[in-house]
Amino acid sequence: MKKYCFGIDVGGTTVKCGLFQTDGTVVEKWEIHTRTEENGRLILPDVAETINKKIEERKLKKEEIAGIGIGVPGPVNENGDVAVAVNLHWGFVAVAKEMEQLTGLKVKAGNDANVAALGELWKGGGVGYHNLILVTLGTGVGGGVIINDKIVAGPHGAAGEIGHAHVEDAITDPCNCGNCGCLEQVASATGIVRLAKEELAASDEASLLRKGPISAKSVFDALKAGDALAERIVERFGCYLGKALAVYACVTDPEVFVIGGGVSKAGPILVEYVQKYYKEYAFSTCKSAAFALATLGNDAGIYGAAKMML
């Protein structure tokens, strides 16, 4: 009988680590520094070392450990290989295989955003559901798709790359992905700033936002303070995102959309503006899909990584 599982989330600056009981209870969480020098070749040995130390320190038996789940910021194939992970300075790395050799434990690897979606399904905003789309609103827009409790990775590792749906023909400056008019350009933290600048430039209307500095947070704060111009910005954000989610819904028909990332700290009011447009544009039987805020924050990755292994 397996009692424990490790969940690891490798980021560009820190590696988040979790030791879990197989029921999802956290035994311990800690972090180590991500050493990206030398093309990131030290990262996996560092992770293996901290895991091996933890096993020793807690006197765990290897046969009690189900294995290690590991999320990495790049496309991961079914064998647990990463083609490239820019933030880790990695080219091709056989993550699962290498980690198995370094630890003697079973290892599964997945894309960090997809893994976070599984975490939110298991112990976060999506508890009780089996089909979910996670939308992460941060500097960019990321996502993860779960169908019947399983991550959808996609043969090119691009499933859940929902920030790069084309939503606006009028945008002519390129997104980080090279295309123009991506959801990320209007619904991320930077996208909301774009919309705010457009609205501020379009009129001389008084607004709390004219004092600056403008951020996604200041826009939502102004909305909460009753600022009409801020409301127009959030309406536009909600329309772009709600409409896009309605399109995604007719592909996989999720039970719940979980909204996370820094921008989601705005709280339930954000969901309200997105869900309003979602309901307007979604196919009839999809209109009832639930909306929830993510609850695990930066821990979604370690939860999901552990769950992926179980």
Q: Which of 231, 253, 262, 295 binds a second copy (CB under 8 A)?
A: 253
| Per-residue contact flags (x/-) with a second copy for residues 48 to 77, judged by CB under 8 A | ---------------------------x--
Would you count residue 118 as binding a second copy (CB under 8 A)? Answer: no
Alpha carbons 162 and 134: distance in angstroms, whole number? 9
| Separation between Cα atoms, residue 296 and residue 121, nearest integer Å | 10
Task: Judge contact between 93 and 54, C-beta under 8 A.
Answer: no
Q: Which of 50, 52, 139, 252 binds a second copy (CB under 8 A)?
A: 252
Query: Is 290 among the residues that bind a second copy (CB under 8 A)?
Result: no
Cα(290)–Cα(202) distance, integer angstroms: 35
Shortest distance in whole angstroms from residue 250 CB to a second copy = 5
Residue 286 structure tokens: 């999809």
- 249 lies in the binding site for a second copy (CB under 8 A): yes
How far is residue 260's CA from residue 291's CA, in Å, rounded to a whole number? 11
Q: How many whole angstroms separate alpha carbon 150 and alpha carbon 230?
A: 38
Least spacing, CB of residue 268 vs a second copy, in Å? 24
Amino acid at 18: G
86 in contact with a second copy (CB under 8 A): no
Residue closer to a second copy, measured from CB, 86 or 228: 86
Binding to a second copy by residue 152, rule CB under 8 A?
A: yes
Query: Which of residues 27, 42, 60, 147 is near a second copy by CB under 8 A?
Result: 147
Radius of gyration of the chain from Cα atoms? 20
Candidates 281, 293, 295, 310; binder of a second copy (CB under 8 A) is 281
Q: Which stretch binds a second copy (CB under 8 A): 47-55, 89-97, 260-268, 282-290?
A: 282-290
Dihedral of the alpha carbons of 240, 242, 243, 248, in degrees to the nearest 10:
120
